[in-house]
Chains A and B, each alone.
Chain A
Amino acid sequence: QSVLTQPPSVSGAPGQRVTISCTGSSSNIGAGYDVHWYQQLPGTAPKVLIYGNTNRPSGVPDRFSGSKSGTSASLAITGLQAEDEADYYCQSYDSSLSALYVFGTGTKVTVL
């Protein structure tokens, strides 16, 4: 089971701001490891949206932003658009796991 907890779903009207939380622990986010965020559109492979807590790859709109504090991280989407309807996953590194890498439980963003 995942050790990074996200809300199952969030929703908002076009143009609104939504945030997705990612809650970890002292062995992952709280240990200082970076958090990365992925967007998965229906039927497609995930795509990196935010890396290293706050950085956007080239081509990702600045409507997407990331932050991290303590044992949690957040993804914010401002000016929500219809094409933002997708599943979003946080991911970090966990020194307590043999696999070392861990994904969040995932959040479905619905644009009303």
Chain B
Amino acid sequence: EVQLLASGGGLVQPGGSLRLSCAASGFTFSSYAMHWVRQAPGRGLEYVSGISGNGGNTYYADSVKARFTISRDNSKNTLYLQMGSLRAEDMAVYYCARSTRPTTGGFFEWWGQGALVTVSS
């Protein structure tokens, strides 16, 4: 059974940093692109970032480019999102999601339970 377990959320001050992790199991991790999608309180889904199965290609929304870095460790079956220069508008539940393909395209077939990031002083 595919499982995605996000962790690392919490309270951080504006301008601070936080690293989210997503532990994957139940499938060959390196065979699939992985993504982060966020949802601010009371708002819709927003695509944040994605990474190909071999880690060679990354994608970022303009709203997080140069502040967030996505990475993966295929030996540990874990996806990461390093978030820096955090702003109030970054406050959201962050979901990790597995694609149906190793690179671009496909859809988000499996979702983690989400990690809440709160940005506040």
Residues of A within 8 A of B (CB): 2, 34, 36, 38, 40, 45-48, 51-52, 57, 87, 89, 91, 93, 97-106
Pick the contact of B59: A38, A45, A51, A98 (CB < 8 A). Answer: A98
B-side interface mostly? strand
Residues of B within 8 A of A (CB): 35, 37, 44-50, 59-62, 65, 95, 100, 104-105, 107-109, 111-114
The reply to whether B111 and A101 form a contact with Cβ atoms under 8 Å apart is no
Residue of A nearest to B63 (CB): A99
Given A99-B60, A100-B104, A101-B35, A46 contacting B95 (CB threshold 8 A):
yes
Total inter-chain residue pairs, C-beta < 8 Å: 68
A-B pairs, 7 with minimum CB distance: A106-B44, A36-B107, A45-B111, A99-B61, A103-B45, A101-B47, A51-B107
The reply to whether A93 and B105 form a contact with Cβ atoms under 8 Å apart is yes
The reply to whether A100 and B50 form a contact with Cβ atoms under 8 Å apart is yes
Give 20 A-B pairs besides A34-B105, A101-B59, A103-B37 with Cβ atoms closer than 8 angstroms.
A2-B44, A2-B46, A40-B45, A45-B95, A46-B45, A51-B100, A51-B109, A87-B44, A89-B44, A91-B108, A98-B59, A98-B62, A99-B48, A99-B49, A99-B62, A100-B59, A103-B44, A103-B45, A103-B46, A103-B47
